[in-house]
Copies of this chain bind each other. A is one copy, B any other.
Amino acid sequence: MAEQHGSRSARRYPCEKCPLRPLPAFREFEPQELAYISTFKKGELAVDRGATVLVEGNHSAHLYTVLSGWGFRYKLLDDGRRQILNYVMPGDLIGLQGSVMGEMQHSVEALSELLLCVFERDNLHGLYREHPGLAYDITWLASREERMLDENLLSVGRRTALERAAYLIAFIHARAKVVGLNGKAPVEIPITQQHVADTLGLSLVHTNKTLRKLIDRKLIHWRDGGCEVIDADGLQSIAGWDGLGEGRRPLV
């Protein structure tokens, strides 16, 4: 089981009072759909910072939507080299690959306390049968993940170290803002430079020197285990990135 360490009891948070749904980032749902999602949801799971939510190679019986907190998806090579694939934030669906194809081929770890809505993998077919609209939404979310991966791959493959770093932080910052992470306070991204290194495909040392340039140019602040964006436009302009440009998205 993946959930054994760092997990907590499952209390109930009614979908009708979901704190995420009212955000302008998400599209409105029919009461009827909402009611179905509510029955689809089996409970909640709280995961501690540093705990592993899903493990590569496992056959997970669950599917999750992030209610609050930060995490990341990653893969490992045999000798321990790690590649972070993407970050997960509120509203993201995790574990879909495992649910639909059988086996997870990546792991997910919590960067902060993570609160998850738990769905039963076996009920997914039922959802597809009874609520084609929601099924479509799930495909939408899968396509969105694919799109983010495309962009990350472009970044790691073809951008310079400085561009990559700027892109990554601008990207995370933009995503976090639309889901209201940290409320109105400036977004504090809870990552270490090691995480950045493993995302960008760089060594820790070189990542440090690259981030230092962004810090010296007053584009970001760096605290121990946290990053705050000062000049998002400046980052975007270095990265040559247009911004998220997403409309409202579904939330399952």
Residues of A within 8 A of B (CB): 73, 75, 77-79, 81-83, 85, 96-97, 100-102, 105-106, 124-125, 128-129, 132-133, 135-136, 138-140, 142-147, 149-154, 156-159, 198-201, 240, 247
Residues on B with beta carbons closer than 8 Å to the beta carbon of A125: 132, 136
Q: Find out whether the CB atom of B150 lies under 8 angstroms from the CB atom of A150.
A: no
Closest B residue to A157 by CB, please name it.
B201
Q: Find out whether the CB atom of B144 lies under 8 angstroms from the CB atom of A101.
A: yes
16 contacts between A and B (CB under 8 A): A75-B150, A77-B154, A78-B240, A79-B240, A81-B159, A83-B154, A83-B157, A85-B153, A96-B139, A101-B144, A128-B135, A142-B146, A149-B149, A157-B200, A157-B201, A158-B201
A78–B105 CA distance with the chains assembled, in angstroms:
33
A87 shortest CB reach to chain B, Å: 13
Residues on B with beta carbons closer than 8 Å to the beta carbon of A152: 153
Residues on B with beta carbons closer than 8 Å to the beta carbon of A153: 83, 85, 149, 152-153, 156
Beyond the given A75-B151, A77-B159, A101-B144, please list 16 additional residue pairs across the A-B interface where CB-CB is below 8 A.
Answer: A77-B240, A81-B159, A97-B143, A97-B147, A100-B139, A106-B150, A128-B132, A128-B139, A135-B136, A135-B139, A138-B139, A139-B139, A142-B142, A149-B149, A153-B153, A157-B200
- Among B135, B158, B201, the residue within 8 A (CB) of A135 is B135
Closest B residue to A197 by CB, please name it.
B157
A192 shortest CB reach to chain B, Å: 17
Residues on B with beta carbons closer than 8 Å to the beta carbon of A105: 147, 150-151
A112 shortest CB reach to chain B, Å: 23
Residues on B with beta carbons closer than 8 Å to the beta carbon of A154: 75, 77, 83, 85
A132–B105 CA distance with the chains assembled, in angstroms:
25
A26–B158 CA distance with the chains assembled, in angstroms:
35
